[in-house]
Structure 1
């Protein structure tokens, strides 16, 4: 079993169909097959062997796919990196994974070369069309290295919010099954589909739900290297996108564009979101504007990533992350024991999607995976129909005077205000209560609202112990590479009330 076999199979079945598109440039499946074979041959010629780690520090261009599937084709383990990392971070990831080679996009060549040198790895700088200049390999390069389903395919590094980044080892079995479930059960992809490729491909969401799922189905991925809301709308219309995959922030930004409903997106049949909590109001606004169903799901890097999803068959429930996907189990526990239905506890997961472990960290693996169950650190609840609802990270939960406050619930209320574009609820130190509830808010373009008005709006809709006493309006919220709001970087302004 080798994840790269999807490339070969789709090339045989649909050689002249578009696999990747960047602007007006199109890569067919025949071309994708040949380029990945060239990359595999190049790695073998450099003495890189099956099981060796190969770093990727590339943007969302066809070159990412060439290097990703080429390394897998050679039997190597792919280590995808954020192309914005600095040299010290590059050195850490390459050194920790003991990567032998790093493919780096030309725009980040300096940081990549410096970091690779520090880690003792070879940096290969890539630009547009660079892999097309490789010599055509012999017939032996057409062979896809045989890998067992338990062999590691990808090492995905976590964000490191609670310490040094850890590499989640995802096997060929993890990724192939997760990819097939996304393509067949959730998206029902066919070769006629065009999938929006605006999610970072170095991230689990973009790899599994966009690149791998599309390639396995013979569909086309239309790539957008850097997110731009206006370009996104133009691509949805001009490229005939049928499946839109994005994090909630992107949905919100697209809706904030002038007259988004004026674009002809009649081919768009389905949207999916994950990676962060999707405000119910944003979901409903997107569905109404584009006449397209939005499915929200849940997963983590350690679970390949998809764990649960709303589905067309069961009917989506706005605000929930759906039911576990085929072959996966989810429970809500407290101190190891399953909690009664409807009560909040930690989400734990068991199934074919759970990682092999953290790269060379057996002790941390033993803490995360206990009796076969992966402990997520996320808090949620399950309803009577088996739908799961995420209320936040355990570390994000606010304890105000002994009362538990779940940020997602307050954020959902704020998103219901017509002036609010984005909102993030955080805990603030308080000498009397331990923590106080704070809310940072970004207003919609041209909208007006005061902090006092927003505070009163929430106060009238939630329990007295939950509404934010401190509300402040800001121009922007800090975000990570996928567009997810980074709460640890939110700092309230000085002054009474946070105004």
Structure 2
């Protein structure tokens, strides 16, 4: 969408490699005292990094990179503000960049002669070889989260990294909540969008503490709340409701997992005026499509036809979603399983999450939905346990609501959850183990793990 704002015009007109640097430099010149990143939000350790400080760090790092011209940079930084500066400097200086989270740093071995930059933003000054500026745009390498197998490195161009960025005026100057790892695909997207649109990034002191996240959301005037459904469900069910409802959230973006109808209804109940988007994206493909109608899954009419941007979706006979980004690219098997329900295709889970009980295939997500539908249940997780007799058994854990419904007990809610499973599911899908836990742990990517008992 065209915009008349000079900042957004300059960013939109810049080369993709330069956009982050241009946005930060322009904001540092125009609004030096405006907050760029707020860390420790929701706690007593709150710290504000303004655009002047961020811009000065960027200029210094660009100067150092230009002096030594490394073969490439891989990140060992963990702070969002450091990663933003590293990304902007490497883009502007045309230095290849690899984002490596803590659990993917063993993948750095093939990055021969690349240098590591941590939160100190220091650059070695004694490199043996100076690599001259390449005419070809440098790659941006991102490690996958390991959802569909061991983490691996994926090459992107800066154009694809920033392809989903919104530069229309309605996105300008907003507060963005960051509950993702800033070195993973989703976190990179949130950091980039906040900076490109002259907004501020809000980093809670702990994403695992729903009350800290809720305070950060309210205290820092967050307008855009991106999260996985697992993180959103924890926030809505475990945070202090009196704090949460004070948030002035304008846009909510759910991604990384499928959102079910109950979660979408709960989100709408808390924030009736917010625009809700469900983004389907992967580290390998980038953003493929987004659904904005507030319903789970995607319209059945999208299957078999080209969507805006040239993406084409299809479904294999076994229910696996297939993506083709354009006519010139190959089809990609996503590993995500879908099922036709009326005029929608709804996600039923990952291919690798299926539990096989005596030859019967069980999708954990369906069992979780049944358990969560029971009054007094806040959340649930289902996975497979090895069995010498049936191959696998269905195991589950649930979080009880706090407070429980009047007159209810935890044992009673557990019994009701098992009864609901027996009533609504086939016998193979009924959990043989149902534990009560204080919270459902999530992976580093903010997703619910189903392949192991504990992440």
Q: Is the 8 A contact 1:415 1:421 kept in 2?
A: yes
Distance, in Å, in 1 between the alignment partners of 2:385 and 2:277 is: 33
The equivalent position to 2:177 in structure 1, one of 196, 201, 213, is 196
Secondary structure of the corresponding residue to residue 421 of structure 1: strand
Deviations 1:7-29, CA, capped at 9 Å, x for gaps: 30464378315433335654454
Equivalent in the alignment of 2:89? 70
1:222 CA displacement: 1.9
Superposed, which structure 2 residues align to 1:197-346 within 5 Å?
197-208=178-189, 210-224=190-204, 226-227=206-207, 228-257=209-238, 259-263=240-244, 265=246, 267-291=248-272, 292-304=274-286, 306-311=287-292, 315-317=293-295, 319-320=296-297, 326-334=308-316, 339=317, 345-346=319-320
Cα offset for 1:475?
A: 3.9
Q: Secondary structure in 2 aligned to 1:173?
A: helix
User: Is 1:80 aligned to 2:99, yes or no?
Assistant: yes
Cα 1:10–1:190, aligned 2, differ >3 Å: closer, same or farther? farther
Q: Do the aligned partners of residues 157 and 102 (structure 1) sit closer, same or farther apart at CA in structure 2, a change above 3 Å counting?
A: farther
TM-score (structure 2 length as normaliser): 0.79
| Counterpart mapping for 1:368-407 below 5 A | 372-381=330-339, 388-407=345-364
Partner deviation per Cα, 1:308-330 (whole Å, 9 max, x = no partner): 2222xxx220x325769742524
Which residue of 17, 40, 63 corresponds with 2:62?
40
CA shift in 2, pair 1:428/1:147, >3 Å: farther
Offset of 1:178 from its aligned partner?
2.7
2-side partners of 1:280 and 1:99: how far apart?
49
Q: Shift of the alpha carbon at 1:207?
A: 1.0
Number of residues of Structure 1 aligned to a counterpart in Structure 2? 411
Q: Distance in 1 between matches of 2:178 and 2:367?
A: 31
Deviations 1:9-51 (A, max 9, x none): 4643783154333356544545544432321221232331xxx
Q: 2:172 & 2:421 partners in 1: Cα distance?
A: 46
In the alignment, the residues of structure 2 paired with residue 377 and residue 263 of structure 1 have an alpha-carbon distance, to the nearest angstrom, of: 35
SS of the counterpart of 2:338? strand
Q: Could you list the runs of 5+ residues in structure 1 that have no partner in the other structure?
A: 106-125, 135-144, 355-369, 492-499
Distance 1:244 1:294 in 2: 10
Q: In the alignment, is the contact (CA less than 8 A) between 1:403 and 1:465 conserved in 2? A: yes
Deviation, 1:93, is 2.0
Worse overlay, 95-104 or 194-203: 95-104
| Distance across 2 between alignment mates of 1:19 and 1:393 | 37
On the 8 A contact 1:56/1:68 being kept in 2, the answer is no
Report the secondary structure of 1:283's partner residue: helix
Q: Deviations over 1:121-169 (max 9, x none)?
A: xxxxx2xxx67x99xxxxxxxxxx78756x5223324428634x32111
User: Structure 1 residues 55, 44: closer, same or farther in 2, change over 3 A?
Assistant: same
How many angstroms does 1:455 deviate by? 1.4
> Structure 1 residues 483 and 463 mapped into 2: Cα distance closer, same or farther (>3 Å)?
same
The answer on 1:159 being equivalent to 2:146 is: yes
Give 1:244 shift.
0.7
Change (3 A) 1:333 1:255: closer
- Taking structure 1 as the reference length, what is the TM-score of the superposition? 0.72
Q: The residue matched to 1:459 in structure 2 has which SS?
A: helix
Sort the Cα spacing of 1:263 and 1:174 in 2 relative to 1 into closer, same or farther, 3 A. Answer: closer
**Separation in structure 2 between the aligned mates of residue 19 and residue 401 of structure 1, nearest angstrom:** 55
1:330 and 1:469, CA in 2 relative to 1: closer, same or farther beyond 3 A?
farther
Q: Secondary structure at the match of 2:284?
A: helix
Aligned twin of 1:460:
423
Take 1:203 and 1:412, find their aligned partners in 2: how far apart are those partners? 28
How far off its partner does 1:2 sit? Answer: 3.0
Give the match for residue 96 of structure 1. 110
* 1: CA distance, partners of 2:400 / 2:342: 36
CA RMSD of aligned residues (A): 3.3
